[in-house]
Chain A
Amino acid sequence: MLTKRIIPCLDIKDGRTVKGVNFVNLRDAGDPVELAAQYAFENADELVFLDISATEQQRKTLAELVLKVAAAIDIPFTVGGGIRAVEDVSILLKNGADKVSINSAAVKRPALIDEVANHFGSQCLVVAIDAKQIDGQWKVHLVGGKVPTEIDLFDWAKEVEERGAGEILLTSMDHDGTKNGFANEALARLSTAVNIPIIASGGAGNTQHFIDTFTHGKADAALAASVFHFGEISVPDLKQQLKQQQIAVRI
């Protein structure tokens, strides 16, 4: 049976993890390679690296980091942040990334989705969507959720599926950072609107939130950052508890 995926997310700047990490076993808490290896050891199902570097020089550092991560771990990982063209995707995949995640660049130029899917296949393309409710309507947001658009979340999700996205990563800006749970209503609606896998993101605070997003939210995978990095939830404990709730997980 296909299992639900648990995905720790690492924010990267200039080749280092950005947010604080409080992991007892790490020698260097800022080293993404060491952190990635630790998560792989703990049976995390995938990893996402989100690059928030601003300069070209830092982006080259990212490509080098991807190579080091690929050498160190034997689980799949996705790299996102600042991807605007087929060439950006090419270097990341060549260095060993399994998937890339594109977000604002796809909203600004939707044909980028077709180009990447046609060139490398849908299997390596995650389209990340940041969304927020405005007057009861879910609207797509840009630049890490800061800039609202008029685009309806569900219309956009259908369009990215048609254009060749292999997966959707939905971050609810209303839930992100709250630790009050995932946006399960929107996630469940999204799961019926499209027929590609959905990764839930934003709002993880405790184990029950993961149980809820896999059941009520119908999510195929759940992503979180700080609850894992600060040891508030450990991946092995989380998976044991999901299993006790009859949710299929890889242990």
Chain B
Amino acid sequence: MVAIIDYDAGNVRSLQFALERLGVASVLTSDPEVIQAAEKVIFPGQGAAASAMKKLKQTGLDQLIPQLKQPVLGICLGMQLLCDTTEEGEVNGLGIIPGKVVRFSNKVKVPQMGWNTISNFQSPLFKQIKEDDFMYLVHSFYVPLCDATIAQSDYDGTYSVALQKDNFYGVQFHPEKSSKAGSQLLQNFLAL
């Protein structure tokens, strides 16, 4: 069973539908016992980092998530909150993956919105996905290339489009909105 962490941070309906299309049952929950018992955990997120962290703290999920032992997939803001700190509202993240989330410069349009190529895969998360395949992204902040980078993209320079540390994975793009390649990535995560 897949648990999708419910902390009222964005639209998760499409994620549930994407899992349904793969024939996988998921539950949207903030119950620590259900989350801990799940085989896989998905940590979604949209909107502002500061208010999302506040909600995690209110529910104690900020303490629970770093202790999880099963594969965890952070999506978009969910990925960014796995990191140490973020420039967005100058808040601390969950500190699971070392690194700082920074803002794109004004040399490019912000947010980056649309389909970009991803490459330089370093993880089975990208099994059967072609180098330079496209994923759908919407974000104003990004994680620079670092030790935890397992895939990169290019917008205002190259940056981390996916991260991993131990059982924690994060993707900046929206696999649930990225057509076949995105569906493949979700399938790969479920197979970990």
Contact = CB atoms under 8 A, between A and B. Distances in A.
B46 interface: yes
B13 A94 contact: yes
Nearest to B183: A74
A45 B11 contact: no
A107 interface: no
B154 interface: yes
A98 B155 contact: no
A120 B111 contact: no
Interface stretch (B67-75, B90-98, B112-120): B112-120
A3 B13 contact: no
B26 to A, nearest CB: 14
Interface residues of A, number: 35
Contacts, number: 97
Interface in A1-27: 1-5
Interface in B29-87: 46-48
A166 B176 contact: no
Contacts of A220: 109, 113-114
Interface string B111-148: 11111110000000000000000101011100000000
Main secondary structure on A side of the interface with B: loop
A93 interface: yes
Interface in B1-20: 10-11, 13-14, 17-18, 20
Given A2-B155, A74-B21, A75-B179, A123 B139 contact: yes
Contact of A196 (B11, B109, B136): B109
Interface string A126-147: 0000000000000000000000
Interface of B: 10-11, 13-14, 17-18, 20-21, 46-48, 106, 109-117, 134, 136, 138-140, 154-155, 174, 176-180, 182-183
Interface of A: 1-5, 40, 43, 45, 67, 70-71, 74-76, 93-98, 118-124, 166-167, 195-197, 220-221, 250
